[in-house]
Structure 1
Amino acid sequence: MSNSSEVAPGHPEPNPPTTRAAAAAMRTEVVADEPEPEPEPAPPMSREPRRGILAAIERPLVVAFVATLGVLGGIVLGSAIASITEILIYIILALFISLGLDPVVRTLERRGMKRGAGIGIVFGAFALLAVAVLVFVLPPVVQQIGQFIESIPEAIAQTLESDWFLTLPSDLQLAVSGALAEVAEHIHQPETVAAIGGGVLRIGVGVASAITAGFIITALTLYFLSSLDGMKRALYSLAPAHDRPTLSRLTERVTASVGSSLLGSVVLSSINAAVVFFLHLVIGLPYPALMAVIAFVITLVPLFGSVIFWVFASIVALFSNPTQALIFAIGYLIYIQLESYVVSPRVMNRAISIPAALVLIGALVGGTLAGVIGVLVALPLMASVLLIIREVVVPKQDLKVVAPS
């Protein structure tokens, strides 16, 4: 008899697993040999967006009505903003003036004075300066404007008979004399006289409006200057907590640059006006107060303002006396060099440097949009934009490095 443990030939018995680990490995191999289940088909994409588009196409009146409501809303919003444009200009101007006065107040604070007392001193000095301008500068300027308009025909006649004019080429004499004669004839026309009278009337109305606006801007400036730190803290609280240190540092640099730019521009223009007034008095040129005010306005444009006024004032002085005009041109040219290399670096030491092309573009755009105020405000805005680009945009772009393949 054969033993029951014997195995039939041709059917060898597999070796049984000796350990639990071996049994688990065998089960894993069995599972791995089983075929993987086929993936379920993806659900069909929703056709709701397509249906929405088709519904909009099928209902053109509804779409047109909604679009009309949007256009009307934009027109109403635009007209509302246009109606308060003057108020917005007051607010922006007061904010920029407060930023310009803030460095002075902070200087007084660093010397141990409280902020309220520093604001009082700054505003007191500003009020005294405004009263001095109204009393001592404005009346002579108005008087000299009238004298200048009345003296134009006589100045043209004397220029045509002067020795330096007769030494010019005949073609140039003919062209200049024709242009001057046309100017003199235009001035004597009744409509020109009426326009000048209307302009004087408009100037009077503008002065009254400027006084009213001055009180409003002064009140807003006083409020902004006293609450500037609180306004900054409110701005910082709107940002995420991890971004607040960066926002604080950037805001402080922007406000310091704006304040330094505004204050520096006003100081440089005031120095220009004083130099022009002194040169006219020393040389004996007419209209010193008028030319000083014109110099203050034109030299608010950095870099180019002094050169523009130098050309303009030299041409005006040429109608009075060629020798005096030459002396003035040389004297003011010397001051321009001193201003460029000595005065301006000391006054504008905290302001952000702006490329010359951007200075010209900013002055043109600001002057076109808002006149002298636009020129005064456009440059600090451009400096702020450049600072944000240098401190935020450029570092982020530098971090975008293409990984090597």
Structure 2
Amino acid sequence: MADHPASPGGEDQSTDPEIANADAVIVQKHEPTLRGIVRVVATVVASAVALYLIYLLRTPIGWLCVATFVAVAVAAPVRRLEQHMPRGLAIALVYLVLVLIPIGIGLILIPPAVTAGSDLVNDLPSYVSDVNDTVQNSDTLRGLNEDYDLVGKLEDAADNAAGSLDNVATTLADIGAGLIGSLFALFTIIVMSIFMVSRGHEWTRALLATRRPQEADAIGKALERMAFAVSAYVGGALTQAIIAGIVAFIVLSILGVPAPLALAVIIAILDLVPLIGATIGAFLVALVTLFNDFPTDTIIWVIFAIAYQQFENYVVQPRIQSRAVQLDPFVIVVAAIFGGTLLGIVGALLAIPVAAAGQIGVREFMLYRRGELERMGGDLTEGLPIDGPDSSEGGSVTT
């Protein structure tokens, strides 16, 4: 039987109890324990439950996000009015205007829309007759009509449109149900935002009181700048939309297009939608001009829409929004796509100010961390020996 090699001290290392105990401790540290397994499983289950609850509460969570945005947006006018009246009265006045605006928009848009829809259905037969006369006077169109029966399809569409008036009651019932749901959501959002405006400062102070003074100061400054960016963007966007609506109303009135005020309101509302809103509004109005004085009004409107969009993009928008948001165009596009995908039109409207606020938050956090690291570096180097040209070979000079 072979002998084990002896250690320099004459002891057998394989039988050293200290080494054996150390090996056992290492093995135990790498082996999963029951407590560790339970902790991992509990973390996974808790995360899954939290995500499922967020999914179930996605609608009220969305309302809460919109209410927060509204509260931040109206905080600026409330502060201005607060200088001349009590804060409660200022809040009530601002929210009264906020509620009256959609009511006024509805009163402007709904009657012309109903009248235009009724007139369109009643005039469809005459439109089809005019199209038929045009087709019969053109050899090319007459050949296409013989091959594809275009006029016959238009006549069928006109008959179906007239017959669809019998289903107006059902359609109005569906619209009424959706309107009730929207009004409930709007009421909930307004109530939550009122609480945020009236108690937001107290909540913020209570939150900052739990942090260190330096952290509280940095967070407070970041929140103020984020709120300014959101309120400035909203104010600028509303100003830009109002200008677009006024200019569109003037042009449409000169052209003699029916319901110029309603069309101008549509232009102003769609102008709030980033990237594509103004284009969609111009296209819808162009469709209306087809039934007014085609092609003169249509050509004039298209030229005006293209020229005004360039003027708005390069003159109006930079002057109004220069202090509010400073985002890269790529970030604006991505934010609008993400917001529209998540929350539809509302998400597209909120995307840019939220992205601007997020950018400010990240920037302020990085500045705070840089200041913390600089202070930590100064504390660590304080009192350390620094070699100087006048120091002796074995000496040092301390700061």
Q: Same fold (TM over 0.5)?
A: yes
Counterpart of 1:389? 362
Shift of 1:134: 3.9
Q: 1:367·1:373 contact (CA, 8 Å) conserved in 2?
A: yes
Counterpart of 2:256? 284
Structure 2: distance between partners of 1:204 and 1:158: 37
Q: Structure 1: any 5+ residue segments left out of the alignment?
A: 1-40
Shift of 1:395: 7.9
Structure 1: distance between partners of 2:115 and 2:56: 36
Structure 2: distance between partners of 1:239 and 1:158: 75
Q: Percent identity?
A: 23
Counterpart of 2:352? 379
Shift of 1:149: 7.2
Q: Which has the larger radius of gyration?
A: 1
Counterpart of 1:362? 335
1:227 corresponds to which letter in structure 2?
A: R
Structure 2: distance between partners of 1:290 and 1:196: 23
Q: 2:121·2:161 contact (CA, 8 Å) conserved in 1?
A: no
Q: 1:393 to 1:211 in 2, by over 3 A?
A: same
Counterpart of 2:101? 129
Q: Does 1:221 align with 2:196?
A: no
Range 99-108 or range 69-78, more displaced: 69-78
Shift of 1:247: 1.5
Matches within 5 A, 1:192-231: 200-231=172-203
2:210 corresponds to which letter in structure 1?
A: L
Q: 1:276 to 1:220 in 2, by over 3 A?
A: same
Q: 1:310·1:329 contact (CA, 8 Å) conserved in 2?
A: yes
Q: 1:186 to 1:138 in 2, by over 3 A?
A: closer
Q: 1:258·1:384 contact (CA, 8 Å) conserved in 2?
A: yes
Matches within 5 A, 1:326-345: 326-345=299-318
Q: Aligned Cα RMSD in Å? A: 4.9
Q: Return the TM-score normalized by structure 2.
A: 0.69
Structure 2: distance between partners of 1:369 and 1:186: 38
Structure 2: distance between partners of 1:192 and 1:46: 85
Cα offsets for 1:170-194 (capped at 9, x unmatched) = 9x999xx98xx69x86994999999
Q: 1:299 to 1:45 in 2, by over 3 A?
A: farther
Q: 1:152 to 1:399 in 2, by over 3 A?
A: farther
Q: Does 1:269 align with 2:241?
A: yes
Structure 2: distance between partners of 1:197 and 1:139: 17
Q: Does 1:102 align with 2:86?
A: no
2:359 corresponds to which letter in structure 1?
A: L
Q: 1:222 to 1:344 in 2, by over 3 A?
A: same
1:295 aligned to which of 267, 288, 309: 267
SS in 1 for 2:181: helix
Q: Structure 2: any 5+ residue segments left out of the alignment?
A: 1-17, 375-399
Matches within 5 A, 1:147-226: 188=160, 200-226=172-198
Structure 2: distance between partners of 1:366 and 1:196: 34
Structure 2: distance between partners of 1:173 and 1:302: 42
Counterpart of 1:27? none
Q: Does 1:233 align with 2:208?
A: no
